[in-house]
A and B are shown apart, each in its own frame.
Chain A
């Protein structure tokens, strides 16, 4: 019976939150190494992983999705060989953070609705 409470959308929300956090880790690493010679900006293979999360896809060994970390193809090259564009990474950080906050808010809202349905109070 409790299974009916937690539909695939909630599961997808949880996985999307995890994806956003993984991307945040990569972006934080980019920002930390913005002045490190030879460091190449990285990015999460994000779009396909997000779609897979909501489609309920999993890898065969059941370990779950392992989003690939790739070198950022959109990052421009700099003279010292370090293609980390600070402004672009900051913009990505901001948008990714907002995405995470939105998902967390929505998830909390859903849970509040379920609680209200069960007990008549939020």
Chain B
């Protein structure tokens, strides 16, 4: 693997966590949305992370570089958001007969978004994002140190 491959791994994580942050922001913004263009209240969305092997084209041939073999193709993984799914857990019903979106029994269906849980996810995603930024910086520093050999 060369520097580009290592950066590709960290970049995939930055992309994935950014997407996750977008979804969390959408959840928080719509925590009280009772009416959506599709009809019905907003439903919480979630991302599905999956790890993938580096693409074949990205692996570099290392015929002549040093005596140590490169890692097997299975050793490192990128991460991708493969799906954005709707949370199927029950909606929050609140008794409010005067509300324009109240049903026949007088209950309004509010989104199944728990702001506290979303904030916890937000912090986890932020931490993961920052950790992968650190990985990118470390990769950069190591490459610069290698280039300085013999300078």
Contacts and interface: CB of A to CB of B under 8 A. Distances in A.
Contact residues of A: prevailing secondary structure:
helix
Interface in A87-111: 89-90, 93-94, 97, 100-101, 104-105, 107-108, 111
Nearest to B74: A69
Given A34-B128, A105-B145, A111-B150, A29 B67 contact: no
Interface residues of A, number: 46
A80 to B, nearest CB: 11
B34 interface: no
Contact of B150 (A14, A28, A36, A108): A108
A112 B150 CA distance: 6
Interface in B65-93: 66-72, 75-79
B142 A86 contact: no
A21 B70 CA distance: 10
Given A35-B49, A105-B145, 5 more contacts: A22-B70, A22-B71, A28-B9, A31-B10, A104-B148
Given A37-B49, A86-B127, A101-B141, A26 B151 contact: no
Given A36-B51, A97-B142, A67 B77 contact: no
Going nearest first, the 6 A-B pairs with the smallest beta carbon separation are A64-B67, A32-B13, A29-B76, A104-B145, A66-B69, A69-B75
Interface string B113-151: 000000000001101100110110011011001101111
A86 B145 contact: no
B117 to A, nearest CB: 14
Given A93-B135, A108-B150, A25 B127 contact: no
Given A25-B1, A86-B127, A112-B150, A33 B68 contact: no
A96 B145 CA distance: 14
Interface of B: 1, 5-6, 9-10, 12-13, 16-17, 20, 49-51, 66-72, 75-79, 124-125, 127-128, 131-132, 134-135, 138-139, 141-142, 145-146, 148-151
Given A25-B76, A26-B76, A18 B142 contact: no
Given A64-B66, A65-B69, A66-B69, A34 B145 contact: no
A97 B66 CA distance: 20
A118 interface: no
Given A100-B142, A104-B149, A19 B13 contact: no
Contacts of A21: 142
Contacts of A34: 13, 128, 131
A28 B149 contact: no
Contacts of A89: 131
